[in-house]
Amino acid sequence: MVAVGADRDGIEGLSRAARANVPTFVEKLGDYSTRAEWDEVISTRIAAYEPDLVVSAGFMKILGKPTLDAFPVLNTHPALLPSFPGAHGVRDALAHGAKVTGCTVMLADEGVDTGPIVAQEAVPVLPDDDEATLHERIKAVERRLLVDVVGRMVREGWTVSGRTVRIGK
C-alpha cells in the first residue's frame, strides 16, 4: 500500500495509515471552486504515488475522468449490484424488503456503481435487522472479499472484456 487518501479529515483509515508510516493525503471538495478542479487535484495527488491499483473503500465521492483515465479504480459497495447502487445501498435494500443482499467489488467507471463486477458475496437480511446491524454484517464480508480480490488482482493481473472481469492470465 503506497498511500491512503480521503476527501475529509478524521478518517480512521488515515490514522491507521499514519501509525503504519504510510503516506496520506486529504483533498476536500469544498476547498475548490469547481468539482472539475477537485477531480484534477485528486488525480494529481494519486499520481504522485504511482499506484498499480486504486482501491475505493468507503470513499463517498464519485471520482471523475482524470482519475478514471489514469488508474484502474476498484470499489467496494455494500449491496449486490446492479441492485441498490449509490450512497445508501444498505438502507435501500432494507427499505425494499430484500431478504438477501451482500457486497460487490467492481471496477469503477464514470457512472455510479455501473462498472464491471469483479466479485460478489451474498449476505442474508435477518428479520430484526436495522441498517446498522445489516451493514456491520456486510462489512465483515466486504473486508475479507476486498483483501482477497486485491491480492489476487495484483499477483495475477486481470482482464476486462465488455462487462466480464477475469483475474489471472
Ligand X SMILES: Nc1nc2c(c(=O)[nH]1)N[C@@H](CN(C=O)c1ccc(C(=O)N[C@@H](CCC(=O)O)C(=O)O)cc1)CN2
Interface with ligand X (CB under 6 A): 56, 59-63, 68, 75, 77, 86-87, 108, 110, 112-113, 115
Q: Is 137 in the site for ligand GAR (CB under 6 A)?
A: no
Judged by beta carbon distances under 5 to 8 A according to partner kind, the member of ligand GAR, ligand X, none in contact with residue 81 is: none
Nearer to ligand GAR, 46 or 135 (CB): 135
Question: At closest approach, how far in Å is the CB of 1 from ligand GAR?
Answer: 15
Nearer to ligand GAR, 33 or 96 (CB): 96
Cα atoms in the Cβ-side hemisphere of radius 13 Å centred on 146: 24
The neighbour count for residue 111, using CB atoms within 10 Å, is 9
Q: Which of 8, 91, 139, 152 binds ligand GAR (CB under 6 A)?
A: 139
What does the alpha-carbon distance between residue 166 and residue 159 come to, in Å, rounded to a whole number? 5
Q: Which residues pair with 122 in a beta bridge?
A: 102
Is position 66 an interface residue for ligand GAR (rule: CB under 6 A)? no
Residues 142 and 136: their CA atoms lie apart, in Å, by 10
Q: Minimum Å distance from CB 13 to ligand X?
A: 14
Residues linked to residue 124 through DSSP beta bridges, in sequence order = 100
Binding to ligand GAR by residue 91, rule CB under 6 A? no
Residue for cell digits 430484526?
Answer: 128
Cα(118)–Cα(109) distance, integer angstroms: 13
DSSP state of 74: E
Cβ proximity to ligand X, 27 vs 113, nearer residue:
113
SS3 for 45? helix
Q: Which is nearer to ligand X, 69 or 128 (CB)?
A: 69
Which residues sit at the interface with ligand GAR, rule CB under 6 A? Answer: 57-58, 60, 76-78, 87, 89, 139, 142
